[in-house]
């Protein structure tokens, strides 16, 4: 009777080891899939920001030039041009560093995926900072335009009141 119990215990142990090994292999696959998905998401966000930035910079540039033309601020125009050129250079550098979002990541190890995710997230942060900076610049230009309109309306009102 103890031989039967010993054999059942041995078979159960072997089945448990096989099941545990399969579960471990499956969890490794799921982890790799999660890392690849996270990498694709980060790269998708980076490429989206990268595609939208040139139009935003062009719009912000036109907006700032219209504001500067009204105020006659030559030094501010030079500083703006230098800042814009630096931003365009940074965008080109990020684009050169950024991996293709359609790349096959199946061959990368978990460690390589982690490094790629960290790099992609860093690039996303750099791009989002640029997007935020130039959206804020456009908003500041809009505020300045409102102030100029208000100043002109006040001037017109004062001129009419003097008559």
Write out pLDDT tens, residues 7-22: 787 778 887 778 877 7
pLDDT of residue 30: 67
Q: Whole domain around residue 108: which residue ranges? A: 34-162
SS3 105: coil
pLDDT of residue 13: 81
In-domain check, residue 22: no
Question: Tokens 């979002």 label which residue?
Answer: 101
In-domain check, residue 120: yes
Averaged confidence pLDDT in the chain: 87
Q: What is the maximum span of the chain, computed from C-alpha positions, in angstroms?
A: 120
In-domain check, residue 132: yes
- pLDDT of residue 73 exceeding 70, the answer is no
In-domain check, residue 25: no
In-domain check, residue 73: yes
Structure tokens at 160: 């009419």
Burial of 17 (0-12, 13-18, 19+ CB in 10 A): exposed
Write out pLDDT tens, residues 28-57: 666 788 888 999 999 999 999 999 999 999
Structure tokens at 105: 């990541």
pLDDT of residue 34: 85
């Amino acid at each position: 009777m103890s031989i039967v119990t010993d054999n059942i215990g041995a078979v159960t142990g072997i089945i448990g080891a096989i099941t545990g090994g399969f579960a471990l292999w499956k969890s490794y696959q799921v982890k790799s899939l999660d890392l690849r998905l996270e990498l694709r998401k980060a790269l998708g966000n980076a490429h989206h920001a990268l595609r939208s930035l040139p139009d935003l910079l062009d719009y912000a540039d036109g907006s700032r030039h219209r504001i500067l033309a009204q105020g006659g601020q030559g030094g501010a125009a030079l500083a703006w041009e230098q800042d814009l050129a630096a931003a365009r250079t940074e965008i080109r550098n990020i684009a050169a560093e950024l991996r293709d979002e359609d790349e096959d990541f199946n061959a990368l190890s978990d460690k390589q995926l982690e490094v790629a995710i960290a790099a992609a997230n860093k690039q996303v942060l750099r791009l989002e900072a640029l997007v935020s900076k130039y959206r804020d610049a456009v908003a500041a230009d809009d505020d300045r335009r409102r102030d100029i309109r208000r100043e002109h309306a006040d001037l017109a009102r004062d001129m009419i009141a003097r008559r």
